[in-house]
Amino acid sequence: MNTRELQDRIIELKKKKNVCILAHAYQSQDIWEVADFIGDSFALSKKAAGAPEDTMVMAGVRFMAETCKILSPEKRVILANPTAGCPMAMEMDRDAVLEMQKEYPGYATVAYINTTADLKTAVDVVVTSSSAVKIIRALPDKNIIFIPDPNLGAWVQAQCPEKNFKFYNGGCPTHMRTGPSDVKRMKAAHPEALVLVHPECRPSVVELADYVGSTTGIMKYAEESSAREFIIGTEASIVQHLQFQCPDKKFYLLSENCVCYNMKMTTLVDVYNAVAGDGGEEIVLPEDVITRSRRPIDRMIQLGG
Ligand code: 13P
Ligand code: SF4
């Protein structure tokens, strides 16, 4: 069977079985083509809360499937490839959050969505890269514990100087493998190109960028810009998607190190098996974890708009 035939089978089967396929922007083009919805973490969360289908298949990483389950506990949520986890989400557990809260009493705890469901039970609000600034500005609290990504945290802090932040020493291994020397090297090779980066990159990279935003923010910016060339500082798949969407523009990856091996684990065959009911992992969370982690996620959706 070739890719097109497998895609046709998936499309037929998902209709028959009333399955919604959610794909994160970092998934491959063949998966994008069978997905009902593609987005960044915030858009996927909103979609998960409102999808009418009985079953949702997540082509992404584990925390995304968990978020789906928390927002739609009555539905079956299948993580297409059970080995796809986010290394950043594994950097901090609930106990480490409680430790920080003991160290900084009275601070509001803001967690990046790239965290486990269990950790989210201990926080006040969840944010994504595209909603963090808006949500933190809207919080009444001045003092903020921001976990686990200090790079995203530093970017938010620069836009919210009225707030006082404490950070955890975490971060995304994919984005942290880039540095300012990559920007300088790529700019020297492509002087006309604009530099678009994700806020999970180090501050020394972010400060050299022309635009900083979420995965879909970067894509929208590149599509709407009148510029013809772009250096992309996020996962390699975004370069591929942009090349499909804007064949007349040129896209260069900031560094060959911008590859998230976890996002690459899910294949079209995994999606097929998950839709067929013959693969993936059904996400099961304890009821109290669902109830207590839903509060900060609902708050994100409410404040993120
Ligand atoms: P966004 O989808 O919010 O841009 O996050 C990127 C990411 O690293 C997801 O794991
Ligand atoms: Fe996690 Fe980074 Fe991979 Fe996103 S790109 S899934 S934050 S390791």
Whole-model pTM: value is 0.95
56, 72 Cβ separation under 8 angstroms: yes
State residue 179's pLDDT score.
Answer: 97
Cis ω before 87 (30° cut-off from 0): no
Nearest residue (by CA) to ligand 2, atom 3, is 260
Mean pLDDT across the chain: 96
215/197 Cα distance (integer angstroms) = 9
Residue 114 Cβ contacting ligand 1 at under 6 Å: yes
State residue 220's pLDDT score.
Answer: 96
Q: Is the pLDDT of residue 305 over 80?
A: no
CA atoms within 13 A on the CB side of 94: 12
Residue 114 Cβ contacting ligand 2 at under 6 Å: yes
State residue 97's pLDDT score.
Answer: 98
State residue 136's pLDDT score.
Answer: 97
Q: What is the pLDDT of residues 66-79, one digit of tens each?
A: 999 999 999 999 99
State residue 119's pLDDT score.
Answer: 98
Q: Is the pLDDT of residue 169 over 80?
A: yes
Q: What is the pLDDT of residues 102-128, one digit of tens each?
A: 999 999 999 999 999 999 999 999 999
Q: What is the pLDDT of residues 260-292, one digit of tens each?
A: 999 999 999 999 999 999 999 999 999 999 999
The rounded Å distance from CA 260 to ligand 2 centre is 6
Alpha-carbon torsion, ordered 237, 283, 300, 161, to 10 deg: -60
Q: Is the pLDDT of residue 45 over 80?
A: no
239/230 Cα distance (integer angstroms) = 9
Domain ranges in the chain with CATH number 3.40.50.10800: 3-84+263-285, 94-173+290-304, 178-257
Q: What is the pLDDT of residues 201-228, one digit of tens each?
A: 999 999 999 999 999 999 999 999 999 9
Q: What is the pLDDT of residues 157-166, one digit of tens each?
A: 999 999 999 9
Q: Is the pLDDT of residue 49 over 80?
A: no
Architecture of domain 178-257: 3-Layer(aba) Sandwich (3.40)
Class of domain 3-84+263-285: alpha beta
Confidence band, pLDDT 50/70/90 cuts, at residue 186: very high
State residue 197's pLDDT score.
Answer: 98
Ligand nearest to the Cα of 213, by number: 1
Helix (H, G, I), strand (E, B) or coil at 194: strand
State residue 138's pLDDT score.
Answer: 95
Under CATH, what is the fold of the domain 94-173+290-304?
Rossmann fold (3.40.50)
List, in sequence order, every residue forming a beta bridge with 275; answer none if it has no partner.
none
Q: Give the DSSP H or E segment for 283.
A: none
59/21 Cα distance (integer angstroms) = 7
Q: Which long-range contacts (CB under 8 A, 24 or more apart) does 158-166 make?
A: 159/133, 160/133, 160/136, 163/136, 166/100, 166/103, 166/104, 166/107
Lookup result for tokens 């922007």: 25
Nearest residue (by CA) to ligand 2, atom 4, is 86
